[in-house]
Amino acid sequence: MGGWKKVRILAHLPTCLLACLLTGASASGKVFITLDEALKLAFPTCTIKRHTIYLSKDQMEQARKLAGVEIPSALVYPYVAMKDGEMMGIAYFDAHIVRTLPETIMITVDLEDRIQRIEVLDFNEPSDYVPRTAWYQQFTGQRLDNDLAVKRNIHSIAGATLTARHTTDAVRRMMALHHVIKRQLIHE
């Protein structure tokens, strides 16, 4: 296979991993919670509507600059939580490689652009590399800024440095995408 074909395939890996999650397919790793269960935990009394947004090149570049990490796909699938006709929050899912295997997380964002919660849906690396729940809780209330980084507002994890870095990158990526598309969601 030519080098350019490998790059194109790898660029779509997070989208493919998320597609597997959404269709119920599972790798041989540990599944902690399903997508529906995660949404119900985050928004127990809400109606959830999944949207499909196609980013323009300008939106992708804007998100990349905000995140400080690559944005691998122009497709974004925000899950908007509604209650009594009012938006309560938005959930995003990110599947990414930790060392050599995927992790999928849900990031929920409130109406003031703060992280409400993070849930790990699946983690395919050895269980020694899964951070404790308290580590994920440090993201709660954070906004997308320079302090949303490992060794700033996010503590590193001894023995799981890659997990900390890749999870934080995923959160930054989803928060940047949120900033770029939130007006579209509010006006739909």
For 69-121, the pLDDT digits (tens) are 999 999 999 999 999 999 999 999 999 999 999 999 999 999 999 999 999 99
What is the average per-residue pLDDT within 53-73? 96
Q: How many whole angstroms separate alpha carbon 55 and alpha carbon 31?
A: 30
Q: Angle at Cα 24 formed by Cα 72 and Cα 53, nearest 5°?
A: 40
What is the domain range of residue 8? 3-186
> Model confidence at 29, in pLDDT bands (50, 70, 90)?
low
Question: Number of folded domains in the chain?
Answer: 1
pTM of the model: 0.83
- CB-based contacts of 117, cutoff 8 Å, min separation 6: 41, 42, 106, 107, 108, 139, 140
